[in-house]
Amino acid sequence: MESKLLTLYSDVRATPVRWLWYPYIAIGKITLLQGDPGDGKSTMMMNLIAELSKGGATPDGKALGRPQRIIYQCSEDGASDTIKPRLEACGADCRNIAFINEEVYGGLTLDDEHLREAIIEFKPQLVVIDPLQSYIGNDSDLQIAVRARKLMRRIALWASTYDCAIVLIGHLSKTGHSKELYRGLGSIDVVASARSVLQVERDEEDEEIRIVKQIKNSLDSKGPDLLFEIRKDTGFRWMESKATEQVQQETGVTELPKNKHELAAILLKKVLADGPVESNKIKEMMSHYRIGDKTMNEVKKDMGIKPYRKMRVWYWALPEERE
């Protein structure tokens, strides 16, 4: 068959998906990083940018190899008094990180050609737009599906054509949707265009700890949750988190718990199955899985567990086991 319009899939050479950070950020694709204002999205991304710029390691410890080039376009902070000092504090090699100076190119939006020209010129492996809402322009209101779809198609084309990963950082909308995926940036078309969606949330037990959840992955299995903390005295730090396979192996469950409450219930049923256990030992076990007192006590109440004291020691037991 000869056609100027059509291409046969038999003529297409199959290629594997390439990852900047497996399985969270793919090269040639859009990744959406979303969360409530002040939850640490930009801080998390700056730390990743710093590692990329010097050829360091991903948050899960995998070597990145050679240093990478990054365009970090941020409208919310000053380049000289905030962004550069923060990048340097993260150990970044700022010779590999660039931006379009908005004091020179005012009114920068994703509807004009400046960003595309910058990508062609600098050849970055990663482009970060922070936040997306600041660069959508009047003609690309994300609440209007047709305009949002057109804008996302343009960005996706840049990512694939110029072989770079594009991360869009955005603040979550305050909709009444209970499903995480629909709390995105105004239009579901934004989420639909992203191949990976990462969501940053504060931990229920400790607000200085953040949880990074991958709530969408169209290219592979979802990655395990990641943890980082931002504290006044120690600053930013990635934390070790239990890999899903490890949780399954240690608890013996076949279906992974969806949240800490489900995990706490599984652990309590398992540890109390053979009879009462000292409350201190239960607390120690819960701490091993980063489950705090608040969640532990809520699950205890839901399961009808009432602690009792015997020989000056407090015990927990399942209702049917209580003497």
Among 7-16, 255-264, 308-317, the least confident range: 255-264
Record: fold of 9-241: Rossmann fold (3.40.50)
CA separation (Å) from 303 to 121, 158, 255, 257, 268? 61, 52, 20, 16, 9
State pLDDT tens for residues 191-233: 889 999 999 999 887 889 999 999 999 999 998 888 999 998 8
The tokens 């990744």 sit on which residue?
31
Q: Is 102 helix (H, G, I), strand (E, B) or coil?
A: coil
* Identical topology for domains 9-241 and 245-321: no
CA separation (Å) from 228 to 42, 43, 211, 251, 291? 13, 10, 7, 24, 15
State pLDDT tens for residues 60-85: 889 999 999 999 999 989 999 999 99
What's this model's pTM, rounded to 2 decimal places? 0.78
Backbone phi, psi, residue 71, to 5° = -105, 120
CA separation (Å) from 118 to 161, 266, 319? 14, 51, 65
Report domain extents, the chain: 9-241, 245-321
Alpha-carbon 221 to chain mean position: 14
CA angle, corner 64, sides to 58 and 68, nearest 5?
A: 110
Which is more confident, 30 or 146?
30
Residues 179, 44 contacting (CB under 8 angstroms):
no
CA separation (Å) from 269 to 155, 196, 252, 277, 282? 49, 35, 12, 11, 11
CATH class for the domain made up of 245-321: mainly alpha
Residues 34, 197 contacting (CB under 8 angstroms):
yes
